[in-house]
Amino acid sequence: MYTSLVGKRSPKYRFDQSKQIALEALAVMGPDYISHVKDEFDHRWIDVVENRYKRSGGYSSGTYDTNPFILLNWKDNLDNLYTLVHETGHSMHSYYATHNQPYQYGDYSIFVAEIASTTNENILTDYLLEKFKDNSEMKRHILNYYLDGFKGTVFRQTQFAEFEQYIHDQDAKGQPLTANFMDDYYRQLNQKYYGDSVISDPQIGLEWSQIPHFYYNFYVYQYATGFAAASTLADNIVNGGQKSVEKYLNYLKAGSSETPINVMKKAGVDMTKPAYLEHAFQIFETRLDEFEKLF
């Protein structure tokens, strides 16, 4: 039997319960946003059940003149509840962009794509922490999920980005990118990021070779910047009221009609300055303190 650090049993949510929680959590986005989420839930925009030959994981995709579609492989757990609101964030972004922009601006760049999905995740975390404020086991699960997600998205992807930047620089200088060369640097970088608190096997140097994103060229950094921007946006929406929601919806509606930096500035995050990163780390620290108090 599996016993996790944070509690005896991980919380289980069926798909119908998860849709209800998602609607309650995302209600802060206002009635227009919620009406489209209801369309998604009620009009079969989601293929939810695992099936033979079906691709694993969760995705949102669509074309300019269709509604967005979501592919899921549902399991009754907290992780899948988060996947549902994450993919819903992408689908709503697509919906607002295609319904407010002409065809040529109806998509969005990689730089802003993961912001819509992780803003929803952050809103869900706020909602669940409030809902279970008197239930310490549930709070441990939710905080653990948040902290682990932050580590995986902000910290680890920054490490990946630093690795990627280095190997491209070395390549430009004429250094042959042999496997041994990359293993050595990856191992050093891992040491730098985890310090003395983690004892790593030497084989950690090979990890770069199993991460397909390194073949996409400068893809990983935007997970870290996106999640950090989403922390501020979710905070603004949950605590800032109608004005913040309107600014946020304008970002979803903008598609690729303006540069990503300008779109985000209008939404309330200046990604050319470090304040939004500091804010994200502040939230991380507050939640880490809360987590420690629960043990």
Residue nearest to Zn ion (CB): 117
The smaller minimum CB distance to Zn ion, of residues 138 and 230, is found at 230
Per-residue H/E/C for the chain: CCCCCCCCCCCCCCHHHHHHHHHHHHHHHCHHHHHHHHHHHHCCCEECCCCCCCCCCCEEECCCCCCCEEECCCCCCHHHHHHHHHHHHHHHHHHHHHHHCCHHHCCCCHHHHHHHHHHHHHHHHHHHHHHCCCCHHHHHHHHHHHHHHHHHHHHHHHHHHHHHHHHHHHHHCCCCCCHHHHHHHHHHHHHHHHHHHCCCCHHHHHHHHHCHHHHCCCCCHHHHHHHHHHHHHHHHHHHHCHHHHHHHHHHHHHCCCCCHHHHHHHHCCCCCCCHHHHHHHHHHHHHHHHHHHCC
Quick one: 107 or 137, whose CB is closer to Zn ion?
107
59/155 with CB nearer Zn ion: 59
CB of 245 to Zn ion, least distance (A): 21
Determine the Cα–Cα distance for residues 185 and 168; give it in Å rounded to an integer: 13
String marking each residue 160-199 x if it binds Zn ion according to CB under 5 A:
----------------------------------------
Concerning whether 87 is annotated as a catalytic residue, the answer is: yes
Phi, psi for 61 (deg, rounded to 5): -155, 160
Cβ at position 116, least distance to Zn ion in Å: 8
Query: Which candidate in 24, 40, 50, 87 is catalytic?
Result: 87
Q: Which is nearer to Zn ion, 91 or 117 (CB)?
A: 117
Q: Please check whether residue 66 is in contact with residue 37, taking contact to mean a CB–CB distance below 8 angstroms.
A: no
Write down the least CB distance from residue 117 to Zn ion, Å: 4
Q: How many residues bind to Zn ion according to rule CB under 5 A?
A: 1
Of 79 and 285, which CB lies nearer to Zn ion in the complex structure?
79
Closest approach, Cβ 203 to Zn ion, in A, equals 29
Residues 6+ apart with CB under 8 A from 241: none
Nearer to Zn ion, 36 or 90 (CB): 90
Closest CB 61 distance from Zn ion, rounded Å: 11
CB of 119 to Zn ion, least distance (A): 11
Within 256-295, the residues that bind Zn ion by CB under 5 A are none
Give the per-residue contact string, 90-129, with Zn ion (x = CB under 5 A; - = no).
---------------------------x------------
User: Which residues are catalytically annotated?
Assistant: 87
Q: Which residues bind Zn ion (CB under 5 A)?
A: 117
